Amino acid sequence: MNLNELKTLCGLYGTSGREHAVRSYILEELRKLELPQDAVRVDRLGNVLVHKKGAADAKHRVMFSAHMDEVALMVTHINSDGTLHFDTVGGVSAAAVIGRQVVVGEQQLNGVIGSKPVHLLSADARKKPADMETLYCDLGTCSKEETARLVRPGDIIYFPANAQEFGDGSLVSKAIDDRFGCLVLLDLIRSDLPYDTDFAFVVQEEVGLRGSGTAAAQLDPDFAVVLEATTAADIPGSGGSDRVCELGGGAVISFMDGRTVYDKAMYDLAVQLCESQGIAWQTKTKIAGGNDAGAIQNAGRGARVLAVSVPCRYLHAPASVIRISDAEQCEKLAFALIPALQEQNV
């Protein structure tokens, strides 16, 4: 796994419906491979669909999917004092953004997410979690007119690019969800595959799994594998099933989440591959969340689905954390699944 490329992908800015920079990077990397002209296409919604020829024709149509978009904030109004009112694009917690530096608009202006000072809060308000509606973005401007020359409603507020290694084999960055999955797909496409395989870099996962369903309807896969990041709650104060999954435990193979009941035979196959090939794995201990498998599963004629995820602390926050070793285990499993889904009785 190319860690530098993961950092590059995470550093790109591209929220739901604004995936242009990520898509451009992926298309440029695909052009370097000199694939047949009809092997790569961009659909009306902005998904990048790739068909990679393998050493042999595929018995089953298999699709690997990852989403290009990241969570962010969107400017909705310029306040009279020049600060910005905003709403979320995807699931962002107010507690995760208060006091954070951000990057605003096409000019990538510096900004800070502000909140009402504690001495102005009522006694009741001090006891409650922060409310996104009460936050604002401070650009350091002095008036509404000055801000309006720089930013307009609909502009995006991003968490700054900050990817770096730290600790004992960890990586911190914004947008690991799901630039990690995009990297795995690129690595698969660059490889000599044993069988023909389809790949989908999809849009707008964070706002309702909107791109993956249309991609699956076009590719019509028998099997679909979603490469994702999933919440790890292995933090102080959590225990038992509330930890969901843990950094350092390997690839996360889900049997069910809040949106999807995963194909049992595909789940069993993934576990068998991990145990036979020495790939570290774990499963989620809490049924929650969801990903593009939920839309792929019932798109078109339907598909059998599996999710392989890297455990990630502080998901949808300005600084998410993964173990590099877990990411490598996920990629090993992805490579192992390509021949297994064709050759084994699933």
Within this chain, do residues 309 and 264 fall inside the same structural domain, yes or no? Answer: yes
Short-list 91, 14, 3, 26, CA closest to 322: 3
Is residue 163 included in any domain, yes or no? no
Model confidence at 122: pLDDT above 70: no
Q: Count up the domains in the chain and report the number.
A: 2
Query: For the packed helices 3-11 and 176-190, what is the interaxial angle rounded to 10 degrees?
Result: 130
Report the CATH number that the domain containing residue 79 is assigned in CATH: 2.40.30.40
Q: What angle do CA 165, 168, 174 make, to 5 degrees?
A: 35
Of the residues 158, 192, 219, the one at which a domain ends: 158
Is residue 40 included in any domain, yes or no? yes
Q: Enter the DSSP assignment of 120.
A: G
Within this chain, do residues 284 and 188 fall inside the same structural domain, yes or no? Answer: yes
Is residue 337 included in any domain, yes or no? yes
| Among 29-33, 87-91, 124-128, 240-244, the least confident range | 124-128
Within this chain, do residues 245 and 316 fall inside the same structural domain, yes or no? Answer: yes
The pLDDT of residue 119 = 67
How many whole angstroms separate alpha carbon 31 and alpha carbon 40? Answer: 9
Within this chain, do residues 47 and 88 fall inside the same structural domain, yes or no? Answer: no
The one-letter code for the residue type at 193 is L
How many whole angstroms separate alpha carbon 65 and alpha carbon 181? Answer: 8
Instruction: Read off the tokens for 156.
Output: 């995006």
3-class state of residue 272 by DSSP: helix
Of residues 236 and 16, the one with the higher pLDDT is 16
Is residue 164 included in any domain, yes or no? no
Write phi, then psi, for 270 (nearest 5 degrees). Answer: -60, -45
Model confidence at 257: pLDDT above 80: yes
Within this chain, do residues 116 and 39 fall inside the same structural domain, yes or no? Answer: no
Is residue 289 included in any domain, yes or no? yes
Cα 322 from chain centroid (whole Å): 13
pLDDT tens for each residue of 147-175: 999 999 999 999 999 999 999 999 999 99
Within this chain, do residues 322 and 247 fall inside the same structural domain, yes or no? Answer: yes
Considering the chain, what is the average pLDDT of its residues?
95
Within this chain, do residues 186 and 269 fall inside the same structural domain, yes or no? Answer: yes
How many whole angstroms separate alpha carbon 51 and alpha carbon 65? Answer: 12
Q: Give the count of beta carbons closer than 10 Å to the beta carbon of residue 258.
A: 11
Write phi, then psi, for 114 (nearest 5 degrees). Answer: -105, 165
* R_g over Cα of the chain: 21
Residues acting as catalytic residues: 205
The pLDDT of residue 25 = 98
Is residue 118 included in any domain, yes or no? yes
Locate all alpha helices (DSSP H) within 52-112, ordered by sequence: 94-97
**pTM to 2 decimals?**
0.95
Within this chain, do residues 138 and 7 fall inside the same structural domain, yes or no? Answer: no
Instruction: Read off the tokens for 345.
Output: 């009785």
Compute the Cα dihedral for 148, 150, 154, 160 and give only its sign.
negative
Within this chain, do residues 339 and 224 fall inside the same structural domain, yes or no? Answer: yes
Of the residues 90, 123, 158, the one at which a domain ends: 158
Is residue 169 included in any domain, yes or no? no
The pLDDT of residue 129 = 74
Short-list 295, 302, 279, 151, CA closest to 222: 302
Is residue 229 included in any domain, yes or no? yes
Locate all alpha helices (DSSP H) within the chain, ordered by sequence: 3-11, 20-31, 94-97, 123-127, 144-148, 176-190, 210-219, 264-277, 293-296, 324-343
pLDDT tens for each residue of 293-345: 999 999 999 999 999 999 999 999 999 999 999 999 999 999 999 999 999 98
Phi-psi region of 169 (alpha: psi -120 to 50; beta: other; left: phi over 0): left
Within this chain, do residues 136 and 178 fall inside the same structural domain, yes or no? Answer: no
Q: Spell out the residues 6+ positions from residue 245 whose beta carbon is closer than 8 angstroms to its own.
A: 230, 231, 232, 233, 234, 252, 282, 283, 284, 285, 309, 311
Short-list 52, 1, 336, 66, CA closest to 192: 52
3-class state of residue 137 by DSSP: strand
Q: Give the count of beta carbons closer than 10 Å to the beta carbon of residue 105.
A: 18
Task: Determine the structural domain holding residue 137 and report its residue range.
Answer: 72-158
Compute the Cα dihedral for 22, 25, 30, 34 and give only its sign.
positive
Of the residues 158, 192, 207, the one at which a domain ends: 158
Say if residue 69 is preceded by a cis peptide, omega within 30 of 0: no
Report the CATH number that the domain containing residue 256 is assigned in CATH: 3.40.630.10
Q: Enter the DSSP assignment of 161.
A: P
Within this chain, do residues 120 and 213 fall inside the same structural domain, yes or no? Answer: no
